[in-house]
Structure 1
Amino acid sequence: MKPENKKIMKARSRNIRLTVAYDGTNYHGFQRQTPPIIAVQNVLETKLEKIFGDSIELAAAGRTDAGVHARGQVVNFFTDGKIPVNKVPRAINSILPADIVVLDASEANREFSARHSAVSKIYEYRILQGDISDPFERSYSWHIRKELDMKAMEQCLKQIEGEHDFSSFRAAGGAPMSPIRSIYQAELTTNKAGRIISLRFHANGFLYHMVRNIVGTLVNVGMGWKSIDDFKSILAARDRTKAGATAPAQGLYLEKVFYPTLTGAKTPIILGGR
């Protein structure tokens, strides 16, 4: 948000926080784009303006890329609109397209920012393994025809837990920032049939394409093209050219965003997600 716009927006009487889920298949990411290119933010702002009666400029917890989905995106905006907050989800969902849903709405304090107040996030990446594809999964997972070595992938996941320099998994083009991040938990689970692999990452922050680059490298290990020691060396190298290709966008989900408690305690509240 431009400084002049921020000043105008913060002069308004209310700060509204929303938790939003969306299917990113038909959108050019979350961040606002210039029409005819349409992003999730374009659609949300246009519809919110209809029910609040003033211009809306959203701040978001994560700027998901084209094709990436969200179960627990968090946004906030300032408004002078009078609609009661408990009526917002029904009102906005009645005019939103079916692939974007506002899950809840609440009044936030003046200083809350969906982006800057976040203390950690969870992203999930889904892989469909096996020779036969699934037409219902094609926009929601990465299809790998070979059965992957999940035990080797799990061992690699343990290596990235804790604080590390993630330069090897950082794509060019992101905002300039420290490559040091803390991953609190990195885990692999499967569904009962064993075809869907879910890779879940909880961290205090993520670099541009960080999760997708980690997943691409993990798949190289699962395919037997790289060893566990190779993965360890890639992490230590701090060199993007050493890591695997970026995993496709459609398998990635922004699951949850964590914020400090209202009392200031260290235990975060969780907005959104399953």
Structure 2
Amino acid sequence: MPRYKVTIAYDGTDFAGFQRQPAQRTIESVLTRVVNKIAKNEAETIEVFGSGRTDSGVHAYGQVVHFDLPFAIPAEGLRHGLNSMFPLDLMAVAVEQVDDDFHSRFNTHGKQYRYKIARNEFVDPFKRRYTYNFKYNLDLELIKTAMKDLIGIHDFTSFAAAGNSTKDFVREIYDVQLIEYPELNEIHFVFNGNGFLYNQVRIMTAVLLEIGTKKRPVHDILRLFEVKNRLEAPLTAPAHGLYLEKVFYDQSDK
């Protein structure tokens, strides 16, 4: 059975996250239904595997999934077929046929997330689903300094949501950037790493914003690594500002 790697983009607003859930509209459930229709498989036994989960309200530019079809379809024809059947808040960006041993989750070398922050006095109605509006004064130089402390291999226990099922909280952050967009009155935080814990990016963002408003010392992240206590970093930035931007399958992409 030919295997296909599909890069998808979606507006996460009206999805209950990526993972399939009973009686919920999720990315995985929509993908599974459409892929099985294309395969003319009424039993819907073809599974769709994602590179990872995103929460309710989180968006994606470059989520990656894979699945097997019972017959070959040219990649561009499959992309058109998927998009003709997808809802308007989901799109196949790219499709390629891959080797049978490719796995969208287990072959990853890392991911890139982007968190968008608007700087308006009041919430822009056209950005409210896609940026976190933060009207308070921020010292961007303090944030840039603090970001350097995230880079490297660390125990991110303090940055993991309660109820996280993982037993290993060590992750490597390759790079963190603050990018300013004056014409949009926005700043973006971009995180590259080998993997991220549940809510990790949103918790890191909340801590950086606290540092930027001088509610935390500039190097408080180093203390959080040491204490390994989620109660020391209790805030979580809203889901609607977060985007899964890229999934890396080549070491050189990191």
TM-score by length of 2: 0.94
The question of 1:51 aligning with 2:38 is answered yes
Partner of 1:7: none
Percent identity reads: 36
SS in 2 for 1:148: coil
Of 192, 202, 217 in structure 2, the residue corresponding to residue 227 of structure 1 is 217
The question of 1:211 aligning with 2:201 is answered yes
Q: Structure 2: how far apart are the matches of 1:146 and 1:172? A: 27
Q: Structure 1: how far apart are the matches of 2:225 and 2:237? A: 17
Q: CA deviation at 1:194?
A: 6.5
Partner of 2:20: 32
Q: CA deviation at 1:231?
A: 3.2
- The answer to whether the 8 Å contact 2:7/2:92 transfers is yes
Q: CA deviation at 1:50?
A: 1.3
Q: What CA RMSD, in Å, does the superposition of the two structures yield over aligned residues?
A: 1.5
- The answer to whether the 8 Å contact 2:150/2:221 transfers is no
The residue identity in structure 1 corresponding to 2:118 is L
SS in 2 for 1:221: helix
Partner of 2:156: 166
Question: What stretches of structure 2 of length at least 5 have no aligned partner?
Answer: none
Q: CA deviation at 1:233?
A: 1.5
Instruction: Please give the per-residue CA displacement for 1:237-260, whole angstroms capped at 9, x wherever unaligned.
Output: 211111140110000000001113
Q: Structure 2: how far apart are the matches of 1:102 and 1:14? A: 18
SS in 2 for 1:228: coil
- The answer to whether the 8 Å contact 1:127/1:142 transfers is yes
Question: What stretches of structure 1 of length at least 5 have no aligned partner?
Answer: 1-12, 261-265
Q: Structure 1: how far apart are the matches of 2:238 and 2:182? A: 24
For these two proteins, the number of residue pairs brought into alignment is: 251
Partner of 1:89: 79
SS in 2 for 1:152: helix
TM-score by length of 1: 0.88
Q: CA deviation at 1:225?
A: 1.2
Instruction: Please give the per-residue CA displacement for 1:24-43, whole angstroms capped at 9, x wherever unaligned.
Output: 000000111111x1101111
Q: Structure 1: how far apart are the matches of 2:68 and 2:179? A: 39
Q: CA deviation at 1:61?
A: 0.8
